[in-house]
Chains A and B, each alone.
Chain A
Amino acid sequence: MWGTSTSSTVTGYRVYYGTAPGSYFQQRGAGVSAGSSTAYTVGGLAGEARYYFAVTAVDNAGNESAYSTEASKLVQ
C-alpha cells in the first residue's frame, strides 16, 4: 500500500520486487501493473527470504516516475 503520487497526470502504478535492495525481478518499465489502485497483493513468493518492494507512478503518456522509497519484508 502506498500513498498516491502528487502528480495530477498519474493514471496508474507499477509494482517491482526482488530479493536484493534496489534490484528487482522486473525490468524497469515492466513492473506488475496495479492499475490505479494504491495497494497490490504479490503472490508466489517463496519463504525464508527478504523481499524488497518499490512502486512507480505512470502517466497517460506512458512516462514512469522514479521508484518510490523502497520497503522490505522478511517472508518466513
Chain B
Amino acid sequence: MTTTERAAIGLNILKETTAMTTSTHVQAMHSGQALHGFGTLFRRIFFTALAALCLPSVASAQTANLWIDTNGGSCTRQSSAATYNDAAACASIQAAVSACVPGDTIRMKSGNYGGQTITAVKTAPGCTVIAEPATTTGLLTTHGAWYEIQNITANVNTGWFITGTASNITCRNCSFSGVNTSVFGYQDAAVYWGGKTSNISWIGGSLTNFSCSSCAKGMAVYGSTNMLVDGVTFDGVRNTGGLGNHFEVIRVDGNVNGLTIRNSTFGNNNETSTSTIFFSTWTGTKPQNILFENNFFGSPGSAYYVFQMNFQNLGSCANWTFRYNTFVPGKAGVLIDPASGSCSGGFSNVIWVGNLAPRGNCQGTAFRSNVWYGSSGAACGGTDKVVASAGFGSDGFRLAAGSLAIDAGGTGTDCIASDHDGNARPSGGRCDAGASEYGAAAQLAPPQNLVVQ
C-alpha cells in the first residue's frame, strides 16, 4: 500500500490511499472541488478558500527509469520512464545507479533509509537520482562517478563522505543535520571531500545544527580538484567534544586545486580558536585557484578570523579571489590571519573586489571597489570606499535603503552578473558592494498572508 499526501497551499490537504500501486498527481482546483479516480479513497481536510481559483487539472504522474523504495524489489530498469512499480524497485541508491544507463532518471520514494554507499562508475551525462520530499538517509558515501543526487536529507549519523578517485558527482539540495557518530579517521568532519576526487558539487542545501564530539571541522576539502559549494547554508555547526585545539566550519587543505564557494551563508556556528574557513598545508601543497563570491559571513564567533591561512612558511599565498562577499563584524574585525608564517612569502594575485567588510583588512595584493565600514582603519585600495556604517537591513546581511554600499562596487568586469539571491546585477549604475544587490529585488515586496490548508 502506498500513501500519497497532498498539501494544497490555500486550498486543502488531501490524503490519498490506494490498495494498488499509485502515483503522484499535482492538481489545482476550486475549493471543494471533488477528486475522483482509480478507486482511491480521499480523506479531505477543507479549509476556507480566500479566493476562488480555477486551473486545469493536470495529471503529472512522475516517471523514472528506475525507482528506489525502502523495501526494494527486482531493481528492474525500464528503458522508457515508467510510473512506480513496487515489485521493480531497487533497495538502495547504489543498486539503482549500478543498473542505470547514462541519461536515466531514478526516483526515490519518500521514507527513512539507512546509510547509502555508492560506488558505481557511470559515464557522461550520468544518472540523476531524485528523492521525493521527506526522504532521509544515514551517512551518504559517494564514490564512483557521474551521478547526481537530489533532495536528500541525512539527519541520523549524518554526513557526506567522498574519497578515492570519485568524480563528477553532484548533491543538489542535500541537507545534513544532527549528530555525527561516525568519524572518518583524522578526517573528522560531517562532509569530507578527499582523496583525488574531482568535479564534485554541492548545490543548495545545508549543514545545520550539526554537532560532533570528535570532529574538528564541519566540512573538509582535502586534495580535490574543481570543487563547488553553491547556495549552501552552514548554520549551527559546532564541536561539542573539544577535540583538538581548533574547530572550523570548512577546512581547505593540501593539493586542493580549484575551489569555488559562492552564494552561501555562514552564521551561528561555533568556530573555536581558528576561523570560519581554515586553509592549511597539513596534507599537501597550498590550495590554489580559490574563489569566494557572493557569500554572507556571519561573525566567526569565538574564533579569530573569517579566513586563516596556516601555511607554515611555505611561501606566498597566490591566485585567490574574494569578490562581493558580505562580512559582519568579527571578533577582531579581521578577515585574514595576518600572522607571521601564514603567508610568509607575501600575497600574489590575491584579489579583493566589491566586498563589504569591516575596516582593517588589507591583506592581499589588489583591492578594487570594496567598501570598508567601521570607526577606524583605512581603505585598502584607491577605488575602495570607507564608511562609518554598512547600513545592513533587518536580516543583518542585506542592505537597507540608504546604505552607502549601494552602487559602491565595481563596473564592467569588476561587476558580476548576479548576487547571492540570484538577482541580476547591477540594479543601478554600479554593482552594490557585498553579496546582496539592493534594487529591484530588494524592493520587490514578498507575498503576504501565506496560508497552508
Contact = CB atoms under 8 A, between A and B. Distances in A.
Interface of A: 1-7, 9-10, 13, 15, 17-20, 23, 25-30, 37-47, 49, 51, 53-59, 61-73, 75-76
Contacts of A58: 444
A19 B439 CA distance: 31
A11 B108 CA distance: 33
Given A61-B424, A63-B444, 5 more contacts: A37-B28, A38-B53, A46-B132, A59-B441, A68-B447
Contacts of B60: 43
Query: In the complex, which of the residues B55, B446, B452 has the most CB atoms of chain A within 10 Å of its own CB atom?
Result: B446
Given A2-B10, A46-B5, A64 B422 contact: yes
A40 B10 contact: yes
A7 B134 CA distance: 34
Contact of B446 (A18, A43, A57, A76): A57
Nearest to B4: A44
Given A23-B233, A64-B422, A41 B447 contact: no
Contacts of A62: 423-424
B246 interface: no
23 contacts: A1-B53, A2-B448, A5-B444, A7-B444, A25-B133, A25-B151, A28-B421, A37-B53, A38-B447, A39-B8, A39-B28, A41-B26, A43-B4, A44-B62, A45-B133, A45-B134, A54-B450, A63-B439, A65-B445, A68-B447, A68-B450, A69-B449, A75-B7
Contacts of A3: 50, 447-449
A33 B452 CA distance: 17
A51 B9 CA distance: 11
A40 B449 CA distance: 14
A61 to B, nearest CB: 6
Nearest to B62: A44
A20 B422 CA distance: 22
A74 B231 CA distance: 27
A35 B163 CA distance: 42
B444 to A, nearest CB: 4
Interface stretch (B90-98, B137-145, B200-208, B213-221): B200-208
B13 interface: yes
Interface in B1-54: 3-11, 13, 15, 24-29, 49-51, 53
B5 A41 contact: no
B443 interface: yes
* Minimum-distance CB pairs A-B, first 6: A1-B10, A27-B204, A46-B110, A29-B422, A39-B10, A63-B441
B51 A19 contact: no
Contacts of B205: 27
Contacts of B243: none
Contacts of B187: none
A38 B133 CA distance: 22
Contacts of A6: 445, 448
B111 interface: yes
B197 to A, nearest CB: 22
A17 B133 contact: yes
B51 A1 contact: yes
Contacts of A71: 9, 450-452
Contact of A47 (B3, B62, B151, B452): B3
Contacts of B49: 1, 39
A63 B204 contact: no
B273 interface: no
Interface centre among B49, B424, B446, B447 (most CB of A within 10 A): B447
B208 A37 contact: no
Nearest to B395: A66
B77 interface: no
Interface stretch (B170-178, B318-326, B342-350, B405-413): B170-178
A61 B156 CA distance: 41
B15 to A, nearest CB: 7
A45 B204 contact: no
A17 B270 CA distance: 27
Contacts of B62: 44
B3 to A, nearest CB: 6
Nearest to A39: B10
B27 A43 contact: yes
A2 to B, nearest CB: 4
A41 B7 contact: yes
A65 B441 contact: yes
B24 to A, nearest CB: 4
B204 A28 contact: yes
A64 B365 CA distance: 35
